[in-house]
Amino acid sequence: MSLPKPPLRDLEKAFGYTFQDAERCEQALTHRSASAQHNERLEFLGDSVLGIIVSEALFEKFPKIDEGDLSRMRATLVCGRNLAKIAQRFELGKYLVLGPGEMKSGGHRRESILADAMEALLGAMYLESDLQTCRKVVLSWFAEQLKNIQPGAGHKDPKTRLQEFLQAKQKQLPVYDVVTIQGQAHNQRFTVSCTVELLAEPVLGSGTSRRKAEQQAAAQTLTLLQEQQETNHVG
């Protein structure tokens, strides 16, 4: 038997916003495994809102930095792993609505699910407020990181880091293939495979865009390769 969920007001206090539409907030917390009324459309919207707010903040903070560095810094801030860390600060996993399979497999701790829910909550907030309200909340999440972030080569997304890992070993570059696209326009789920010669099987990633799915597949592939490398060194 699952434990009762804590009241949403506790999440809202940590999150920095009180929702007027409780049903939409609940939908933002609902994974596709639990209901047809899940959070992926809200995630799609929240992803765009997040991108514009963080882009604007970086644009204003670094008036002389070129587009390439701005893009890499934005990718560092809005990547799934970083969003999941913010979600963990809010103990967001306790509020997620998951299907039985995801509950058993620890979905409330999975980075991709936590990150998606963060974007969905932002999408829900945007629909009932405005961009200025969202900006205030989002900038509070990233305040410390925005204060400390600096341009440089350290801001690389998973696909770039995987490519560099393979190049350092003089291996072929990864191959990404779309395995499935589920759902209608603006409510699609992409599953992408990442194939590298150092692993026997392709690694799958999923997301509400091909870009997100590829980044997730790359991140998981890189983790497996690094674990394999560590095991070989120990052996």
Band of the pLDDT at 157, cuts 50, 70, 90?
confident
The residue type found at 72 is: R
- How many residues would you count in the chain? 235
The whole-chain average pLDDT of the chain stands at 90
**Binding residue per annotation — 116?**
yes
Q: At what angle do helices 131-141 and 40-61 cross, to 10 degrees?
A: 70
Where do the domains of the chain lie, and which CATH numbers do they carry? 8-148 (1.10.1520.10), 158-234 (3.30.160.20)
SS3 assignment, position 181: strand
pLDDT digits (tens, 9 = 90+) for 89-136: 999 999 999 999 988 888 899 888 999 999 999 999 999 999 999 999
Tokens (6 digits) for 101:
């399979």
Please give the distance of CA 13 from its chain centroid, rounded to a whole number: 22
Largest CA distance in the chain: 57
CA 49 – CA 139 distance, rounded (Å): 12
The pLDDT value recorded for residue 1 is 40
Q: 208 with 192: CB under 8 angstroms?
A: no
Tokens (6 digits) for 47:
């992803």
**Binding residue per annotation — 119?**
yes
Residues labelled as active-site residues = 47, 119
The pLDDT value recorded for residue 118 is 96
**Binding residue per annotation — 102?**
no
CA 177 – CA 174 distance, rounded (Å): 10
Tokens (6 digits) for 231:
């095991």
Tokens (6 digits) for 15:
């999150």
H or E stretch covering 175: strand 175-182
* Across 206-229, average pLDDT: 88
**Beta strand 175-182 pairing with 203-207:** unpaired
